[in-house]
Structure 1
C-alpha cells in the first residue's frame, strides 16, 4: 500500500469496481499521487483527477516516473514565474521565498518551497507559520511536484490541506498557431486600462493595491486587449518576459462571457507569443488548474504540455 512519502510520485492503483458471476472486476489507474488520507487517495491521471476510497483499492504501488524535467529546470522556471508575479512583500528562508500580497492570489501569498530552507523541514514549516501569522495571513506553501514531495509528505502528516492541483505548462513560441483573420485586432499596451482592470476583477475579485503592484512591476510586461466594433472590451491577456532563459509568461487570458467561442483567447495568445518573440523569448509558460478542463483543452490545442505540477498547501485552521 502507498504511504504519505509517495505523494508527488507516479503510482499505479488497481481498483475494485464490482463483481460479475462471482468474479471480482478491477480497473487500473496510472498517474501522480496528489493526496493520501485515512480514507481516500487522489491521483492526477491524463484524463483528470481521480479520488479513490481506500476500501476499493486492491493494490497500489509506486512506479518509475515518466520522463520529467531536471530539478534545476523546475526551480529555474518557478523562479521566472515568481519574477513575473512579484509579491510586494518578500522574505527568504534559505532558498524558499515567503510572499505576501494582501491575500490577492495564492501565487503571491504562499511560500515557494524550492531549494534548501537552510534548516530541518519541520523547523522550516514552523518558520513559515510564524511569518504568515505575523502578517495576519493564513500560512500557505506552494509545493512543486515531485520536487517538493518530502514537503508534501510532511505537510500531510501535519494535517495541512491542499487547493486544486495546478499544471505549469510550456510550449515553444513557434508552435503557438495563428488566429482568425476576421477578429478585431489585439491592442498591446505598456500599462493596463481601467476596463482591463475591471475585467480582471470580474474573475479575480476586488483588486487591492497589491494587485496593481504585482501586475505592473516586471520590467518587461505587456497588456493585451481586444475591443469589439462598438468599443466594448471583450478579451484581455498579460505577458511578461523573465528569468535568465527569458520565459514568456502568459496570464489572465480572459474573454467576456458573451464573446466566448469565437477564438478570442487563441487570438490574444498568438499576439502575446509574437510580442514575446520580439523580446527575445523562445518558450512560453502558463499556469492552469487541472480541473479547468476547458482551458486545459484550449492550451493543448495551442501546443502547451505539462512541464510539472504544484499544490498550494493550506495550514489547518487554528
Structure 2
C-alpha cells in the first residue's frame, strides 16, 4: 500500500470495480498521487483527477516517472522562478533559500528545499522552523517533487500538512507563439513597465489585499512586464505578469486573470502570446508557469496551448 511520502510521485493503482460469480473485476489508474488520507487516495491521471476509496484498492505501488527531468534542471528552474518572484526577506541555509514576505503567497513565504542545506535533514527542518518563528510566521517548506522526496518523508514523520499539489509547467517560446495566432477580432494586449491601480485591483480580487511586500515582489524583478486588455470603453478585461530571469532565460507567466464576462473568447491566449513575444525580445527561449493541479480550467487551457508538467511541488505547513 502507498504511504504519505509517495504523494507527488507517479503510481499505479488496481481498483476493484465489481464482483461476478466467476471473478473479481478490476480497473487500473496510472498517474501522480495527489493526496492520501485514511479513507481515500487521489490520482491525477491523463484523463483527469480520480478519487479512489481505500476499501476498493486491490494493489497500489509507486512506478518510475514517465519523463523525469534531471535534478539540475529542476533546481535551475526553481531558482529562476525564485528570482521572478523575489521575497523581500531572504536568507540562505546552504543551498536552501528561506523567504518571507508578510505571508503574501506561499511561494514568497516558504523555504525552497533545493540543493544541500549543509547539515542533516532533521537539523535543516529545525533551522527552518526556528527562522520562521523568529519572523512571526508559520513555517512553510516548498518541496519540489520528486527531487525533495526525502524532505517530504521527513516532514510526514513530523506531522507537517500539505497544501494542494502545484504543477510547474513549461514550453518552448517559439512554438508557443506559432500555436497562438494573432487575433484581430479581440482588443489588443497592452504591455506596461509598471502596473496601474486597476491592474492591482483585478489581481487583488484573486490574491486578496496587496500589502507593500506584494508590490515589492511584483515590481522587484529587473526584466518584468505587466499585460492588460481593455474593451472599447476602457474597462479592464484581463491582466497578467511576465518576468524573464536566470538561470536559463526563462519567461515566468503569473497572475493571468480574465474578467468573468470576458472568458472563453481567447483573450487569455492572446495575453500569453504577447508575453511570449516580449520575452523572446529579451533573449528568453522557454516559458514556465505554476498552477494548482485542482484548477482544472486553467490546467486545461495551458495544456491546449502546449504547456506540459516539468515537475511538481508541495508546500508543506508545520503543525500549529
- Same fold, judged at TM 0.5 (above): yes
Residue 313 to residue 49, structure 1, CA distance change in 2 (3 Å):
farther
- 1:268 corresponds to which residue? 271
Deviates more, 1:178-187 or 1:242-251: 178-187
- 1:289 corresponds to which residue? 292
Spell out, residue by residue over 1:194-224, the C-alpha distance to the aligned partner (whole angstroms, 9 max, x if none).
Answer: 1110110011000010000000000100001
Q: CA RMSD in A?
A: 1.5
User: Given the alignment of the two structures, is residue 157 of structure 1 paired with residue 157 of structure 2, yes or no?
Assistant: yes
- 2:54 corresponds to which residue? 54
Spell out, residue by residue over 1:152-187, the C-alpha distance to the aligned partner (whole angstroms, 9 max, x if none).
Answer: 111112111111111111111112222321111111
Q: Per the alignment, in what secondary structure is the counterpart of residue 310 of structure 1?
A: strand
Deviates more, 1:34-43 or 1:157-166: 34-43
1:159-174 → structure 2 map (5 Å cutoff): 159-174=159-174
Q: Tell me the distance in 2 between the aligned counterparts of 1:219 and 1:83.
A: 10
- 1:86 corresponds to which residue? 86
C-alpha deviation, 1:259, in angstroms = 1.2
Q: Tell me the distance in 1 between the aligned counterparts of 2:316 and 2:268.
A: 30
Task: Give the alignment partner of residue 221 of structure 1, picking from 210, 213, 224.
Answer: 224
Q: Tell me the distance in 2 between the aligned counterparts of 1:70 and 1:146.
A: 11
Deviates more, 1:211-220 or 1:64-73: 64-73
Kept in 1: contact 2:111–2:142 (CA 8 A): yes
Q: Tell me the distance in 2 between the aligned counterparts of 1:92 and 1:204.
A: 27
Deviates more, 1:21-30 or 1:281-290: 21-30
User: Given the alignment of the two structures, is residue 184 of structure 1 paired with residue 190 of structure 2, yes or no?
Assistant: no
- 1:76 corresponds to which residue? 76
- 1:119 corresponds to which residue? 119
C-alpha deviation, 1:4, in angstroms = 4.3
User: Given the alignment of the two structures, is residue 257 of structure 1 paired with residue 265 of structure 2, yes or no?
Assistant: no
Q: Tell me the distance in 2 between the aligned counterparts of 1:239 and 1:186.
A: 13
C-alpha deviation, 1:41, in angstroms = 3.2
- 2:140 corresponds to which residue? 140
Kept in 2: contact 1:191–1:222 (CA 8 A): yes
- 1:315 corresponds to which residue? 318
Q: Tell me the distance in 2 between the aligned counterparts of 1:91 and 1:218.
A: 18
Task: Provide runs of 4+ in structure 1 moved above 6 Å.
Answer: none
Q: Tell me the distance in 1 between the aligned counterparts of 2:122 and 2:52.
A: 29
Q: Tell me the distance in 2 between the aligned counterparts of 1:52 and 1:126.
A: 35
Alignment length (residue pairs): 317
Spell out, residue by residue over 1:123-173, the C-alpha distance to the aligned partner (whole angstroms, 9 max, x if none).
Answer: 111111111111111111111110011111111121111111111111111
Kept in 2: contact 1:4–1:157 (CA 8 A): no
* TM-score, with structure 2 as normaliser: 0.95
Kept in 2: contact 1:107–1:142 (CA 8 A): yes
Kept in 2: contact 1:10–1:31 (CA 8 A): yes
C-alpha deviation, 1:37, in angstroms = 4.3
C-alpha deviation, 1:22, in angstroms = 5.6
Kept in 1: contact 2:9–2:33 (CA 8 A): yes
C-alpha deviation, 1:18, in angstroms = 2.7
Q: Tell me the distance in 2 between the aligned counterparts of 1:146 and 1:202.
A: 33
* TM-score, with structure 1 as normaliser: 0.95
List alignment gaps of at least 5 residues for structure 1.
none
Q: Per the alignment, in what secondary structure is the counterpart of residue 30 of structure 1?
A: strand
Kept in 2: contact 1:87–1:99 (CA 8 A): yes
